[in-house]
Amino acid sequence: MSTETKRAAPKAAAKEKGKASNNGADAKHDDFHGTTPELRRELLHSMLVQRRFEEKCAEAYALGKIGGFCHLYIGQEAISTGVMSMIRPDDYIITAYRDHGQALARGISPRAIMAELFGREAGCSHGKGGSMHLFDANTNFLGGHGIVGGHVPIAAGVGFAIKYRRGNQVCVCFFGEAAVNIGAFHEALNLASLWNLPVIFIIENNRYGMGTAISRSTANEDVVVRAQGYRMDGESVDGQDVFAVRDCIERAVERARKEKRPTLIEMRTYRFMGHSMSDAVSGTYRSKEELEENMKRDPILVLHNRMYEAGELTEGEMHKMDDEAKAIAQDAWDFADASPEPPLDQLYTDVYSDTTS
């Protein structure tokens, strides 16, 4: 299928990490955490594709080509890229509505994602899901879910199924820090720990639930301590550093596959855009200065600078890579724009399955 071209995922990534040190102990001796130059380029490329793709999303939204709610991931790309580079094709991913980055990093075709955002039949959910509900059975991408925290127990259920079948996959579940105050989060953590389920719960702490700062929503801002309440391992890492993300996920994946134990991870990050495309980037709830300060730790810049300083990436190469990312985003736009809308007879398809076992 034509939508299967131009994948953004770092394919060789999971294999490469084998050489990395544990716990980042010798990180000082090896700033690149055992990664190869090729892998680092793939990681940078993956993040750049997400960034350029979402910039096109913002443009398309302004033009009315994308409708509804559209939550951009810009500023958080090291998390999606880092996580996806450490898991296997047969592992499962489930996420909330800020899902474009994870979908791209997982390897769903940018064309299929953009077509979904445009509400086209060629979209990865055939135009029935939209921005918040990206699904792709080929990559075990179990959706984009729109109710804060509602999908966290579903992740535990996927973990339950893995255990039921005596498999050794993991289920990775992404959600924002605002979800830690939802009952579903707590119920899921309890069950995952009680039943030893191979689930990695990732809190992407971008510090704002829509316009409410974590200090105004959460009695204990150290959200990862909630793992202790459920006798679960927990870890808090710099979500702007793709290597820190990868190291942490490596430990969690090992724990899930070998010990069949869940992990709660806080990825400390920052949302560079508004909550959704219809919300202000800054203003009443956060200052421009705070935003600008945090944008200095743009995850793409963080990786780029390290590669640049190590002398393994020239400005020319960076420009070339960036141009490639822009071309992928433009190609996705062009594809989506030229794609037909779903035929009206699909209105009533997939309400029910007509099959039985």
Partner 1 sequence: MAVLTYRDALTQALREELQRDDRVFLMGEEVAQYNGAYKVSKGLLDEFGPMRIVDTPITELGFAGVGVGAAMVGLRPIVEFMTWNFALLALDEVVNAAAKMLYMSGGQYKMPMVFRGPNGAALQLAAQHSQAWESWLAHIPGLKVLTPGTPADAKGLLKSAIRDDNPVVFLEGEMLYNTKGEVPEEDYLTPIGVAELKRQGDHCSLITHGKMVLVAMRVADDLAKEGINIDVVDLRTVRPIDVEAISKSVQKTNRAVVLEEGWEICGMGSQVVDFIQRECFDDLDAPVLRVHQEEVPMPYAKNLERAAKPDAGKTVAAIKKVMYLD
Interface with partner 1 (CB under 8 A): 92, 94, 123-129, 133, 135-137, 142-143, 145-147, 150-162, 164, 171, 183-184, 187-188, 190-191, 194, 349-353, 355-357
* Rounded Cα distance, 208 and 217, in Å: 9
User: Is residue 50 within 8 Å of residue 73, measured between CB atoms?
Assistant: yes
Could you tell me the smallest distance in angstroms from the CB atom of residue 246 to partner 1? 25
Could you tell me the smallest distance in angstroms from the CB atom of residue 192 to partner 1? 9
The residue among 92, 103, 5, 91 whose CA lies nearest residue 46 is 103
What letter represents residue 301's amino acid?
L
Could you tell me the smallest distance in angstroms from the CB atom of residue 142 to partner 1? 6
Could you tell me the smallest distance in angstroms from the CB atom of residue 21 to partner 1? 34
* Rounded Cα distance, 29 and 51, in Å: 30
Residue 188 or residue 252: which is nearer to partner 1 going by CB? 188
* Rounded Cα distance, 248 and 24, in Å: 9
- What is the dihedral sign for C-alpha 300, 304, 305, 310? positive
Residue 124 or residue 300: which is nearer to partner 1 going by CB? 124
Could you tell me the smallest distance in angstroms from the CB atom of residue 67 to partner 1? 15
Residue 83 or residue 115: which is nearer to partner 1 going by CB? 115
Burial per residue of 165-183, b for 16 or more beta-carbon CB atoms within 10 angstroms, e otherwise: eeeebbbbbbbbbbbbbbe
Could you tell me the smallest distance in angstroms from the CB atom of residue 203 to partner 1? 17
Kindly write down the DSSP assignment for every residue of 22-41, as one continuous string: GGGTTTTT-TTTT--HHHHH
* Rounded Cα distance, 178 and 208, in Å: 7
Half-sphere exposure of 41 (CA within 13 A, CB side): 13
Q: Give the pairing of strands 263-268 and 199-205.
A: parallel
Residue 24 or residue 129: which is nearer to partner 1 going by CB? 129
